[in-house]
Structure 1
């Protein structure tokens, strides 16, 4: 048998928690010395302790843990529950990391408030472009809604283009259109030179030329694009223009190598206010 201290060490829990599990009837000592009150445990009890801690980490209350333990789950059942919880925790970590990146991007935008690009903004016409594209709906234009929608579209589009034998002749171009309510139609495209065909499992469309666009180069991942968008918006207003519709995003160098080296041109159609 093991003293409560040795058992706590073996089970990687605190003595305080073992006393609490004893008090609530979840893990009783194998023996209690009647004269000293010292608790003793057996190695076989580590099995119940492992299940107890695992179930608690799943988010179950101690009362729920008691019910599950009394049902004597098999190793396979417990493994399945823990695997599911592991997947949920990994997904939560990814969501939290994405939220952290958005907070950091907003902080950078706040730090740059009032700072206006000068030579960074170029006003120019944008020629029409023929693109193959896939589309999907996002709940809003917020990065937390746009990112998860547009990111899978490009790998899907590349696979379909390869399967159809359609070569890419230029850059990726993402466009956006308003949909019902706050929804946004996300359009992930790449430049091609083929004619539209019903045989393709993607659209081939011509993006119209823009007579006049305020363009600016954004460097780095699109997680950081908020500050760039807001600085060019300040430039547009300060120079007596107004924006027409959503911006186009032209991926000049994106997805390969160091994200700090990625380059995207933002194109915002403008007219005189």
Structure 2
């Protein structure tokens, strides 16, 4: 029999790790002294300790390690799935590092710019959740991204040229939309894209597409690197609210905040309007 100290040295596992694996049922001592509680191991248990170390070094959870040891015929498949998950996490971490570096380097700040008059094709997006938590927010992002891509496809199939990237904005443009949003039934978002031509020159479009002609106006814009998150959205709102340079009779209309999702980040813009007299 080997004491826990001897077994620890042989397997390069600390006594604390051995106690943890015992508590988790991964590596149960061959014998435990009822009077002293001292743990003893056999030489034959070295192989199991080695396998545990191999699997834990991959980053596998205790639960997965236990399953791989209990079902050795599934061990390779479990390792493959774990490898895929590790790769996904590494890509996500790399993206996060890139976004964090970009935010700290760029110090995103609002900028005033003029937007020319244009023709816009819009479509309501049903089925988006409210985004009350991270899961809902991510679901809404997926739905809106797909809806924007579908809008561009529909417009192009109708023979209309899209100008620039599509964007999304809150569905607060009509009294009916306001009521549906306030009632919590939605739709909560609209996707839009600028197009070439005027309403009179556009060919027939699908019935659920809306043609709009916003006038030229000023807007405050801020670019936030990385993927769109609830926290970034709120940060953008706060920075736009606190932004200069606006004189005393103008304000940022956040009800019409629009977001253009780009490969490297999100451009958020809100029109600057004069306060009613």
Shorter-chain TM-score: what band? 0.5 to 0.7
Instruction: Report whether the alignment pairs 1:129 with 2:124.
Output: no
Using the alignment, how far apart are the partners of 2:270 and 2:193 within structure 1? 16
| Matched ranges for 1:40-189 at <5 A | 40-41=43-44, 44-45=47-48, 49=52, 57-58=60-61, 60=63, 65=66, 72-76=70-74, 78=75, 120-122=111-113, 127-131=117-121, 133=123, 135-136=125-126, 137-140=128-131, 145=137, 147-158=141-152, 164=157, 166=159, 168-174=161-167, 175-178=169-172, 179=181, 180-181=183-184, 185-189=188-192
Helix, strand or coil: the match of 1:245? helix
Helix, strand or coil: the match of 2:190? strand
Match of 2:219 in 1: 215
Q: Is the 8 A contact 1:129 1:208 kept in 2?
A: yes
Using the alignment, how far apart are the partners of 2:45 and 2:23 within structure 1? 18
Match of 1:246 in 2: 256
Using the alignment, how far apart are the partners of 2:8 and 2:132 within structure 1? 56
Aligned-residue CA RMSD (Å): 5.6
Q: Is the 8 A contact 1:129 1:191 kept in 2?
A: yes
Match of 2:14 in 1: 14
Give 5+ residue unaligned stretches, structure 1: none
Q: Is the 8 A contact 1:166 1:192 kept in 2?
A: no
Question: In the TM superposition, what is the alpha-carbon distance from 1:218 to its structure 2 partner?
Answer: 3.0
Paired residue for 1:205, among 200, 203, 210? 210
Using the alignment, how far apart are the partners of 2:268 and 2:31 within structure 1? 73
Question: In the TM superposition, what is the alpha-carbon distance from 1:90 to its structure 2 partner?
Answer: 7.1
Give 5+ residue unaligned stretches, structure 2: 33-39, 173-180, 197-201
Question: In the TM superposition, what is the alpha-carbon distance from 1:206 to its structure 2 partner?
Answer: 1.5
Relative to structure 1, is the Cα distance of residues 58 and 26 closer, same or farther in structure 2, using a 3 angstrom cutoff?
closer
TM-score by length of 2: 0.53
Question: In the TM superposition, what is the alpha-carbon distance from 1:8 to its structure 2 partner?
Answer: 1.9
TM-score by length of 1: 0.54
Using the alignment, how far apart are the partners of 2:43 and 2:9 within structure 1? 9
Aligned residue-pair number: 239
Helix, strand or coil: the match of 2:171? strand
Question: In the TM superposition, what is the alpha-carbon distance from 1:131 to its structure 2 partner?
Answer: 2.1
Helix, strand or coil: the match of 1:191? strand
Helix, strand or coil: the match of 2:43? strand
Using the alignment, how far apart are the partners of 1:22 and 1:244 within structure 2? 57
Helix, strand or coil: the match of 2:193? strand
Using the alignment, how far apart are the partners of 2:86 and 2:116 within structure 1? 45
Q: Is the 8 A contact 1:7 1:41 kept in 2?
A: no
